[in-house]
Amino acid sequence: MAGKSYYHLHLVPANPRVSILIPVYNEAEYLPALIARLLAVPLWEEVPIEIVAVDDGSTDGSAQTLDELARLHPDVIRVIRHTRNRGKGAAIRTAIEHASGEFAVIQDSDLEYNPLDLARVLAPLLEGHADAVFGSRFASSGERRVMYFWHSLANHFLTTVGNAVADLNLTDMETGYKAFRLSLVRSIPLRSNGFGFDPEITVKLAQRRVALYEVPISYRGRTYEEGKKIGAWDAVSALCVVLWYGLRRDIYRDGGAGMLDAHSQTPRFNRWMADTIRPWVGTRVLEIGAGMGNLSRYLALRRQLYIASDIDAEHLARLRVRFQLRPNVRLLRCDLGAPADFVPLIGQADTVICLNVLEHIEDDATGLANISSALIPGGVAIVLVPQDPGLYGTLDEELGHYRRYSEAELRAKMEAAGLTVEQVLHFNRITRPGWWFTGRVLKRRSSSRILLWFFDRLVWLWRRIDRTLPWPGVSVIGIGRKRES
């Protein structure tokens, strides 16, 4: 089973496209040399690239220089213009919107950063180890131009504050060389227009708990006479950005993903859910809708094979990094509502786990039939769904639920799919009043992170009293065994 070609680690494509993002403001004299150096990087013999340059309202002819360079290299260079100067962060956001690669790296439009270092910066991404990489000027193993003491001190101070707020151990938060998966950064709301982009993205990447790497780079900083633009006020602004975003959690564009993230911050609750279904989990497991791996990390332990599947490319990329050192884990793109995705999985698993996924597909009968098809005869399906149609409210809408189930409905649909329901469990009675009040009375579309934090700290108590509560659970779990044919 493990050797078949359709099980894979969602490895980085053999020739991933890299987008080089260049914010430009009054750098006409440097641009020809910069582009020449970028195009001469040996790495591009193996990795296809595009250069996305954004002219941010330059007044020195930078726009015209970029247009001329694009005419010389039409297959590589794309130029986008801002009609007025909006700031470095705004230019980078525009470049991100127009980029088409799997990975991207920011390249300042001056010559302070050496393009020959790009191979080193991109390596952890291309090898599948990292979600984002920073090139550090202060962990340099190469040459570094000796520059201003106070400027260096400010950099170290900002990095220290950023590390404290974000719980990191970076050596250079303000580096101009930042590389990342485009799908990851596009899922993050980035708002800073100026030099606040660097601390903002650092804090938000940390809050997303990505695999962030740092590599040494060389650095030839400019003097102010040579055109250096960042100043003392930018340092004060960066400090404010660190503190502002450190106190918030503005890290998802999509509200439903934000709610999933909120629940990823409840490890005790996730372990409770995993422990509840663990007695029925076998050795060859297929998990449908693994998401960010909140349950997978508990359930994959000591399995012969654990296939974590999802439909979302960003989730799969995160899972790839999260489980890169777990040889028993395989990743697979799989849509519960698509029978074609299950053809190579027919009869391959002794357990299928489907937690909080079935309610997201319109044709749930097809979804249950697909689950059944993946099981060997006698294999077990573990299906957890939200319970009680009367609880359906704004929280369900935000999460993209088509329905909530009654116990009888889940049992009937599982039986119709060829699964003999051996047991039905009510799970998480404790939050039923809160779910009803939040989603039906207050009609809110998100859960309070503070309340979730307190709730998670008391899971030890909820686990002891949950079964004694006199109302049904927020969720119901069906344990079904595939009938012998």
Q: What percent of the chain has pLDDT over 70?
A: 90
- 170: confidence class by pLDDT, cuts 50, 70, 90: very high
Residue 298 near residue 270, CB atoms below 8 Å: yes
Q: What is the DSSP string of 24-39?
A: ESS-TTTHHHHHHHHH
Asked whether the predicted pLDDT for residue 144 surpasses 90, the reply is no
Q: Please count the other Cβ atoms lying within 10 Å of the Cβ belonging to residue 247.
A: 9
Mean pLDDT (whole number) for 246-266? 76
Return the H-helix or E-strand segment holding 425. strand 419-427
In the chain, CATH 3.40.50.150 sits at 256-482
Mean pLDDT (whole number) for 160-165? 90
Tens of pLDDT along 91-129?
A: 999 999 999 999 999 999 988 899 999 999 999 999 988
- 8: confidence class by pLDDT, cuts 50, 70, 90: very low
pLDDT on residue 151: 63
Tokens of 337: 């509502």
* Owner of token pair 């193996």: 46
- Look over the chain and give the mean of its residue pLDDT values, rounded to a whole number: 90
Q: Please count the other Cβ atoms lying within 10 Å of the Cβ belonging to residue 468.
A: 7
Domain 256-482 top-level CATH class:
alpha beta
Residue 261 near residue 220, CB atoms below 8 Å: no
Asked whether the predicted pLDDT for residue 371 surpasses 90, the reply is yes
Q: How far apart are CA 133 and CA 388, in angstroms?
A: 45
Strand order in the sheet with 329-333: 329-333, 305-310, 284-288, 349-355, 375-386, 475-482, 419-427
In the chain, CATH 3.90.550.10 sits at 18-251
Residue 194 near residue 87, CB atoms below 8 Å: yes
pTM reported for the whole predicted model: 0.81
Mean pLDDT (whole number) for 141-153? 62
Q: What percent of the chain has pLDDT over 90?
A: 73
CA distances from 158 to 162, 174, 187 (A): 6, 8, 25
Mean pLDDT (whole number) for 398-426? 97
* Owner of token pair 């319109």: 362
Torsion of CA 252, 256, 258, 263, to 10 degrees: -160
Q: How far apart are CA 163 and CA 170, in angstroms?
A: 7
* Owner of token pair 């956001």: 93
Asked whether the predicted pLDDT for residue 392 surpasses 50, the reply is yes
Return the H-helix or E-strand segment holding 374. helix 364-374
Tokens of 152: 């260096």
Q: Which amino acid is at 50?
A: E
Mean pLDDT (whole number) for 419-429? 97
Mean pLDDT (whole number) for 50-61? 97
pLDDT on residue 4: 38
**Superfamily of chain region 18-251:** Spore Coat Polysaccharide Biosynthesis Protein SpsA; Chain A (3.90.550.10)
Mean pLDDT (whole number) for 219-238? 66
Tens of pLDDT along 323-351?
A: 988 999 999 999 999 999 999 999 999 99
CA distances from 30 to 61, 147, 389 (A): 12, 20, 63
Tens of pLDDT along 148-161?
A: 566 677 778 888 99
Tens of pLDDT along 196-228?
A: 999 999 999 999 989 999 999 988 865 545 455
